[in-house]
Amino acid sequence: MRLLCFLSPVLCLLSVPAYGQIATSRPVGYLVQTIPAGQTRSFSVPFDAELSSQSGAVGRLTAVGATTIENSAAGWTPGAFSSAAAPYFLRLTSGAHAGRSFRIVTPENTATRLTLANDGVDLTSLGLAVGTTTGTTFEIVPGDTLATFFGTTATGDTLVVQGAGDPLGADLVQVWGGAAWLNFYYNTVWARWARDTDVSTDPTRNHYLLRSDRGLMLTRRGATPLTLAVVGRVLATPQRAVHTRSENALTFLATMQPGDVTLGALALQTSDRTAGWRSSADPADADILLVWSGATWFSFFFNSTAGHWQRVGDATPNRDSFVIASGTPVFVQRRTAGTSTADQTISFPTPGS
């Protein structure tokens, strides 16, 4: 759990665990985000969780299958990484696909093999190196669910958002489902997380996965601001995120930047960030980046004629200096479909660059 505390009305103390298997340390970041009462904010965590405390959290690939990877020296505890209640991700940290993350899923892991949700891509097609000394390197990090991140009312746990007996009185957590928002809240009568469409006989949503490479929207229904403090490791490998590349589809992505970044520095129009970013003097013919202002969505496009970013319908021509605050996710909309793995990923800048 990377959400440290609910900071109103008290301040919390921070502590970051250290594990013996971490060969090198990374800078630790700390971010506070506030959602004013009655308002909605976009939200993401720009840091990594700590490495798994279990053995074999870092290693090299020694074999790759369509949906599996192996590390012959891992010595993993069978099933340790495959629980829906405590999700884990494998991130590649070397090679052409460094920065990509894959959810570890069932069948349960063995001592040497992990099964991955492969985003519809045969892992053998990625050209990942294998070998005990030359294989692609990886790390295993814990993920979050609604319950592990925002808490519950269970004994020994803390709910950091406002719950209620119905979705109209509770803080709302919105996850982009690819075509519409999925709305979640903590139901204090049922003592569990629920969707706003759920009835009492529906299953718990406590274990609904929150992907670190995706953004959320948070609506504060309480009478006071909600202040969330998060801490974690600054990424050592720039994030390479999978995004929907069907025509005009939207993907809500976390940039994983520990500090503020400008549109010019984000530079999604460049070939080392995206394959075939569509730029144009006409926004109707350009790929779009959307940023939540706190009240509305600002839509930006790269004007290939002028050579800078512009906001759709804005009289100010050059928006290269527009700042995207740390922890602010962005919607990406591509006008045309992609046909390759490269077409369906976005590389964000090196954190702190």
Residue-wise pLDDT tens digits, 39-61: 999 999 998 888 888 889 999 99
Measured between alpha carbons, how far is 172 from 195 in angstroms, rounded to an integer? Answer: 10
Whole-number pLDDT of residue 26: 64
DSSP-H helix ranges across the chain: 146-150, 263-266
Among 66, 259, 230, residue whose Cα is nearest residue 148: 230
Measured between alpha carbons, how far is 192 from 152 in angstroms, rounded to an integer? Answer: 7
Which residue carries 């718990």 as its tokens?
Answer: 204
Q: Is the dihedral of CA 124, 129, 135, 140 positive or negative?
A: negative
Whole-number pLDDT of residue 312: 97
Give me the mean pLDDT over the 333-352 stretch. 90
Measured between alpha carbons, how far is 214 from 89 in angstroms, rounded to an integer? Answer: 14
Query: Which of the pair, 117 or 339, is modelled with greater confidence?
Result: 117
Measured between alpha carbons, how far is 99 from 241 in angstroms, rounded to an integer? Answer: 8
pLDDT digits (tens, 9 = 90+) for 178-205: 999 999 999 999 999 999 999 999 999 9
Whole-number pLDDT of residue 19: 30
Tokens of 69: 């990877």
Whether 1 shows a pLDDT value over 70: the answer reads no
Instruction: Tell me the residue type at 319.
Output: R
Max intra-chain CA distance, the chain: 60
CA atoms within 13 A on the CB side of 284: 0
Whole-number pLDDT of residue 41: 97
Whether 18 shows a pLDDT value over 60: the answer reads no
Whole-number pLDDT of residue 353: 67
Whats the size of the chain, residue-wise? 353
pLDDT digits (tens, 9 = 90+) for 80-134: 999 999 999 999 999 999 999 999 999 999 999 999 999 889 999 999 999 999 9
Whether 350 shows a pLDDT value over 60: the answer reads yes
Measured between alpha carbons, how far is 189 from 92 in angstroms, rounded to an integer? Answer: 42
What does the CA dihedral 244, 246, 248, 254 come to, rounded to 10 degrees?
10
Pairing of strands 192-195, 216-219: unpaired
Whole-number pLDDT of residue 3: 52
**C-alpha distances in angstroms, 67 versus 53, 134, 289?**
24, 21, 31
Tokens of 159: 């709910």
Among 122, 59, 121, 50, residue whose Cα is nearest residue 88: 50
Whether 275 shows a pLDDT value over 50: the answer reads yes
Output 156-160 pairs: Cβ under 8 A, ≥24 positions apart: 158/5, 158/6, 159/186, 160/3, 160/5, 160/6, 160/226, 160/228
User: Any idea which of 58-72, 89-103, 336-350 has the lowest mean pLDDT?
Assistant: 336-350
CB 151 within 8 A of CB 70: no
Tokens of 150: 């925002």
CB 106 within 8 A of CB 82: yes
Please provide the average confidence, as pLDDT, over all residues in the chain.
91
Tokens of 99: 């920065």
What Rg value do the Cα atoms of the chain yield, rounded?
21
Whether 24 shows a pLDDT value over 90: the answer reads no
Whether 15 shows a pLDDT value over 50: the answer reads no
Measured between alpha carbons, how far is 332 from 348 in angstroms, rounded to an integer? Answer: 12
Pairing of strands 323-324, 261-262: antiparallel
Give me the mean pLDDT over the 66-73 stretch. 97
Give me the mean pLDDT over the 22-34 stretch. 71
Tokens of 145: 């669910």
